[in-house]
């Protein structure tokens, strides 16, 4: 089967959607399918076409004008419409508007959507709501990343996912074994090592985390702070610790950290796999549901207050045995959340019609 994925950004750009599409694509290729990804050429030095991990990637030159971008994309797709014609399945990742002209040119072509996230604006605009409803109505089926999407956007998902984890092989295992490596819970030294993972923006709770760090400093809690991420608030983060920017592999940073600040699904799953306690901050009701409606909510700390986060970090430092029970339970759950399970949802969705 030939699957055509369309997504705004893709490898080598780093992000949750990019990671999701790449891992699903790799798994599909391993199962014998052909996968083609259409994406924006977000850097001029990137090739217009290349193959990575047996996934064929086409990058659309969109230019710098946001207003003209959609017309350039439609023009490129019209010229390369043979890619749509030859595909058995066309699947959009939060960019269904790319498909609008072709929905009517090829009305019998199966087209599906994955709804990944939310707009940084709160509450969501009427335009965002209408775009999602239109995308849902014109799709033959959809996958929602998170149960909160149904509540906040009125979407009726065929399937819900929270993403997956990469299986990290134990050196003692035979190659090809699906079992994840057994990690040990970190033993604290006198200095806490805190890692933030994600975009350096207000909607990720960054300001709450930074305020919590100031409270910890006032309470004379010794810590080091690192950041794997980037964004418009980078300067503020640099005032508290070392900012590495987005990194392609988090394993090194996770393994040397004591606890994690993160409010995004994939980063939380990775932290849980490494048996690191997660502190997730929210600053509006949508983000609260994003976190609290997730199946892993019971095993992480979710707060909207810097004071409460700081207090729980201090409590955690001196009562880690109580938290270790939650960390172990979370690990036992997350190690079963593999990407091949996510791929199975996609295959079930495409077989429905």
105-136 pLDDT per residue, tens: 998 898 999 999 888 788 888 988 998 999 99
In percent, the amount of the chain with pLDDT more than 90 equals 79
Q: Mind listing the domains of the chain with CATH numbers?
A: 2-164+338-351 (3.40.50.2000), 192-334 (3.40.50.2000)
pLDDT on residue 283? 95
pLDDT digits (tens, 9 = 90+) for 186-203: 665 678 999 999 999 999
CA distance 152 to 148: 6
Structural tokens at position 293: 């409606």
pLDDT tens sequence across 272-330: 999 999 999 999 999 999 999 999 999 999 999 999 999 999 998 888 777 888 999 99
Euclidean distance between CA atoms 286 and 146, whole angstroms: 11
CA dist., res. 299 & res. 236, Å (int): 29
Tokens of 211: 């305020």
Going across the sheet that includes 49-52, the strands are 49-52, 55-60, 34-40, 2-7, 89-93, 111-115, 142-145, 159-161
Average pLDDT score over residue span 230-253: 96
pLDDT at res. 66: 83
Residue 120 pLDDT: 78
Mean pLDDT of the chain: 92
pLDDT for the residue numbered 173: 42
Look at residue 321 in the predicted model and tell me its pLDDT. Answer: 78
* Other Cβ atoms within 10 Å of 350 Cβ, number: 17
162 pLDDT above the threshold of 90:
yes
For residue 239, count other CB atoms closer than 10 A to its CB: 12
- Which of 31-45, 70-84, 320-334 shows the lowest mean pLDDT across its residues? 320-334
Supply the pTM of this predicted model: 0.91
């Amino acid at each position: 089967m030939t699957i055509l994925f369309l997504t705004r950004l893709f490898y080598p750009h780093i992000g949750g959607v990019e990671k999701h599409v790449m891992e699903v694509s790799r798994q599909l290729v391993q199962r014998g399918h052909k996968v083609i990804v259409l994406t924006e050429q977000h850097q001029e030095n990137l090739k217009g076409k290349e193959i990575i991990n047996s996934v064929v990637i086409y990058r659309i030159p969109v230019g710098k004008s946001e207003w003209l971008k959609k017309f350039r994309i439609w023009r490129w797709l019209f010229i390369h419409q043979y890619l749509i014609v030859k595909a058995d399945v066309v699947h959009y990742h939060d960019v269904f508007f790319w498909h609008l002209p072709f929905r009517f040119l090829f009305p019998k072509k199966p087209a599906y959507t994955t709804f990944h996230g939310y707009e940084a604006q709160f509450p969501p605009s009427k335009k965002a709501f209408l775009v999602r409803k239109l995308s849902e109505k014109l799709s033959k089926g959809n996958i929602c990343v998170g149960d909160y999407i149904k509540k906040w956007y009125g979407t009726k998902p065929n399937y819900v996912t929270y993403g997956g984890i990469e299986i990290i092989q134990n050196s003692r295992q035979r190659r090809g074994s699906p079992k994840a490596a057994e990690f040990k819970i970190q033993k604290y030294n006198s200095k806490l090592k805190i890692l933030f993972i994600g975009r350096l923006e207000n909607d990720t709770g960054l300001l709450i985390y930074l305020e919590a760090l100031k409270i910890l400093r006032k309470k004379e809690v010794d810590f080091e702070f690192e950041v794997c991420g980037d964004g418009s608030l980078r300067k503020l983060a640099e005032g508290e610790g070392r900012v590495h920017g987005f990194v392609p592999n988090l394993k090194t940073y996770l393994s040397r950290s004591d606890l994690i600040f993160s409010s995004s699904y994939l980063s939380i799953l990775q932290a849980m796999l490494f048996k690191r306690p997660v502190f997730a901050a929210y600053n509006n009701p949508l983000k609260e549901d994003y976190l609290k409606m997730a199946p892993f909510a019971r095993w992480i700390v979710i707060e909207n207050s810097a004071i409460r986060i700081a207090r729980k970090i201090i409590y955690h430092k001196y009562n880690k045995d109580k938290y270790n029970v939650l960390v172990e339970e979370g690990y036992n759950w997350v190690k079963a959340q593999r990407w091949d399970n996510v791929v199975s949802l996609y295959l079930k969705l495409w077989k429905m019609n």
